[in-house]
Amino acid sequence: MRFLIGIAISGILMLLCIPGYAQYLTGDITIKGNIKTHPSLINREIVLKEGDTLTSSQIKDVSDLSVQNILKTNLFHTVTVDTLNRNDTLDFIFIVKERWYWWIWPWIERPDRNFNDWWQHKDLLRVSGGLQFQHENMRGRGEKLNLKAWGGYKTYLEASYEWPYINQKKTIGAGIFATYSSGREVDYTTRENKQVFWHSSANIFESHLYAVYLKYRPGIRFSHFFTLSYRKFIYFDSILAEGARLHSDLSRPELISFSYLIKADFRDNRYYPLKGFYTESETGFLKNINSRYNQQSERVSLRGYLPLAENIYSASEFTAKFTNTLVKPYFLQNALGYNREFIRGYEYLVIEAPHYWLFKSQVRYAILPYKTFRIPYIQSTKFNPVPVSIFIGPHLDCGKAFPALNKEINSLQGEVLTGYGIGLDLVTYYEKVFRIEYTFRNTGGSGLFIHFMAMI
């Protein structure tokens, strides 16, 4: 018996001597380079704490995951980790390089859904201009202040403030949001899968939006959002007298809504991921105060990112949304063609229906993997060096908005639509992505399109 116990102890000791099984005690965790950012905000993203026991094979995993989490705050250009071994006690030193946090820049606003839709007509008379002020790290605690104001064809004011954490445990965050807008045109129907607008020489509507939200993030991967909002539309007598169709039968619709959104983020990067997956699910409830109209909706989305070979990556996304009512006010009928939920190649069109599903996919080949360039005569580390990556590859999208309630007017309702082609992505710092692509449509036709975001 003693012989067997001796063999077992010897085996355990031998395993501990193997590099993958050598154990270390986590010692001091130090942060350097954070001139403005409070250390507690960075510590929140580190998946280590003093006293943890790690094997040598775990050290790189926890270091890489901590770096990814810190970078996802969008507060730093780079994050590196150094370790110091003190008699099997391992100290970790996280070195961050902070970004530029506040911006004031001129803002050019077009009323169309995307740049390509506006570029068809290039109507400069429908463009508004103004300023935007943004601070992404107020008080060094990751709080975000955003102010926008512009005028011209459309008047728009926006103010928002976000607190990433409002409790000591840093699990609860909050935000407030308010906008005011007025304009000279209203989209009131869709014909041949294109929006139809009512134009005027003077303002014909106002819109007010107020929203608050709470965020609950108990760990690293999962986040829960609870949002309550109120929105009011006011249509002036000039448009009512002309008898134009409005968003609803009411001249002053008032909407109150509540939504619950849960996110699970396992990506290596937030704005242009190459590995991992991301999923979200949102349940929404909407009530028109001035009528009996109620709406419930459910939206789910899943995105996956997979390295296929050296410098070759795949990305795919599936999104679906369902609502409990078929007959809705016009402005609530948006499905495919709005925001980021569109089929590539159909940027000029909208397909409106109560429900829809959308699948996007692309292969990315890094013709220029992550590389940094220095701009001569710029000394600030917040702007120099400049990281740049370039990817090229094919893409394939398909989707469907259903049921077909007005197919005689909008022929694409209820049809499976497909877009396929090739695109080029330029990725640089401050979450800037420029994409140019050529896409063919299964319904006929093709075109060159430009976007300023990652498609998946």
Could you read off the pLDDT of 22-76 as tens digits, one per residue? 788 999 999 999 999 999 999 999 998 888 898 888 899 999 999 999 999 999 9
In this model, does residue 294 exceed pLDDT 70?
A: yes
DSSP of 52-117 = -EEEHHHHHHHHHHHHHHHHTTT-EEEEEEEEEEETTEEEEEEEEEE---EEEEEEEE-SSSSHHH
Query: According to the model, what pLDDT value does residue 12 have?
Result: 52
**Residue 396: which residues within 8 A CB-CB, separation 6 or more?**
361, 362, 418, 419, 420
Q: Structure pTM? A: 0.88
Q: Are 304 and 348 in contact (CB under 8 A)?
A: no
**What are residue 374's phi and psi, to 5 degrees?**
-100, 135
Instruction: Using alpha carbons, select from 259, 240, 237 the residue that is nearest to residue 248.
Output: 240
Cis ω before 403 (30° cut-off from 0): yes
Q: What percent of the chain has pLDDT over 70?
A: 92
Pairing mode, strands 143-152 and 154-163: antiparallel
**Fold matches, 2-98 and 102-451:** no
Domain spans of the chain, in order of start: 2-98, 102-451
Q: Are 186 and 202 in contact (CB under 8 A)?
A: no
Dihedral angle of Cα 438, 443, 444, 446, to the nearest 10 degrees: -10
| Each residue's pLDDT tens digit, 398-434 | 999 999 888 889 999 999 999 999 999 999 877 789 9
Tokens (6 digits) for 10: 């010897």
| Each residue's pLDDT tens digit, 132-190 | 999 999 999 999 999 999 998 889 999 999 999 999 999 999 999 999 999 888 887 88
Instruction: Reply yes or no on domain 2-98 having CATH 3.10.20.310.
Output: yes
| Each residue's pLDDT tens digit, 352-384 | 899 999 999 999 999 999 888 787 777 777 777
For residues 181 and 232, give the distance between their C-alpha atoms in angstroms, rounded to a whole number: 11
What are the strands, taking DSSP E only, across 236-354? 254-265, 276-288, 294-309, 312-323
In this model, does residue 14 exceed pLDDT 70?
A: no
Tokens (6 digits) for 445: 């036709």
Architecture of domain 102-451: Beta Barrel (2.40)
| Each residue's pLDDT tens digit, 230-260 | 999 887 765 654 544 554 554 568 999 999 9
**What are residue 9's phi and psi, to 5 degrees?**
-65, -40
CA 399: distance to chain centroid?
A: 20
**Residue 58: which residues within 8 A CB-CB, separation 6 or more?**
none
Tokens (6 digits) for 252: 């002053």
Count how many Cα atoms sit within 13 Å of the Cα of residue 70 in the half-sphere of its side chain.
30
